[in-house]
Amino acid sequence: MKRKKVKKRKPIKKLSLKFVLMLLAATLGGTGIIFSPLFAVQTIEVTEMEQYSKEAVCDMIGLKTGTNVFLYDKNKAVEILEKNHYIESAELTVQLPSTIKIDIAERKVRGYVPYAGSYLYIDEYGRVLDVQDTTKKTLPIVYGLEFNEFQLGELLEAKNEESFDVVVTISQMVTKYELLNSILEIDVSDPQNITANINKIEIQFGSIENCEQKMAYLSQIVETIPENDRGVLDLSDMTKPIVFKYML
């Protein structure tokens, strides 16, 4: 009988002690570099915001100087920031060895809507950012929107949708032509007869038609009307001469 050939197993190469020691040293050396004070946060750069200071932003996400840039959870920080109603988006980047940069797209309050003795703070798209008992700075107070409830961080769901669309359009135009601090009140209860007040001046806009033209004209004339003058400025028909009617 023929004997079957038995394949010899290849000998397992043993790692030399020298190689193991070199690998261990490299691992420990890499770990030592990561934990080095060189990578402790020294500089934090934050986009300037209307609502929050740099210190407030850092407090939200638990970031401070001395934090290790490799161990800090940037994804968690972004998640926390983007849950805030005043923040549309956020991005954290590390600039080695010791700088963290925080870029924030902020939602800004562009008006107030009275609600049950309080005020809803809305942005230029009609999103509710906050609710407070009082207003904080001079911005238009919007009257005429009909709604039963609201949700923070979401667009205000008004029953009179046409009036809501008017608010959004006017808010964007008022922002563009820098009239936010001039207009005190806007009434959109009748979308065809929109009115506003600047000091003691009543502005009659009529409908939303030619809104940008009306706002452009208003931005030019508002500076020329003395503060104590009372009257009515009719901008409802831009095809006719603009007349300011004084009131005694």
Last residue of a domain, one of 106, 121, 145: 106
User: How far is residue 93's CA from residue 122's CA, in Å, rounded to a whole number?
Assistant: 30
86: domain range? 39-106
> Kind and range of the H or E element at 36?
none
| Judgement on whether residues 115 and 238 belong to the same structural domain of the protein | yes
Are 183 and 233 within 8 A, CB to CB? Answer: no
- Phi and psi dihedrals of 191, rounded to 5? -60, -15
**Residue 29 placed within a domain:** no
User: How far is residue 163's CA from residue 39's CA, in Å, rounded to a whole number?
Assistant: 54
Tokens representing 95?
A: 């600039």
pLDDT at position 11, please?
A: 52
pLDDT at position 35, please?
A: 63
pLDDT at position 223, please?
A: 79
How does pLDDT run across 111-131, given as a tens digit for each residue? Answer: 999 999 999 999 999 999 999
Give the count of domains, the chain.
2
| Judgement on whether residues 242 and 120 belong to the same structural domain of the protein | yes
Measured on CA atoms in the order 223, 225, 228, 232, is the torsion positive or negative?
A: negative
Question: Which residues of the chain are modeled with pLDDT < 70?
Answer: 1-35, 248
Task: Kindly report the pTM of this predicted structure.
Answer: 0.80
| Judgement on whether residues 130 and 210 belong to the same structural domain of the protein | yes
pLDDT at position 28, please?
A: 41
| Judgement on whether residues 204 and 149 belong to the same structural domain of the protein | yes
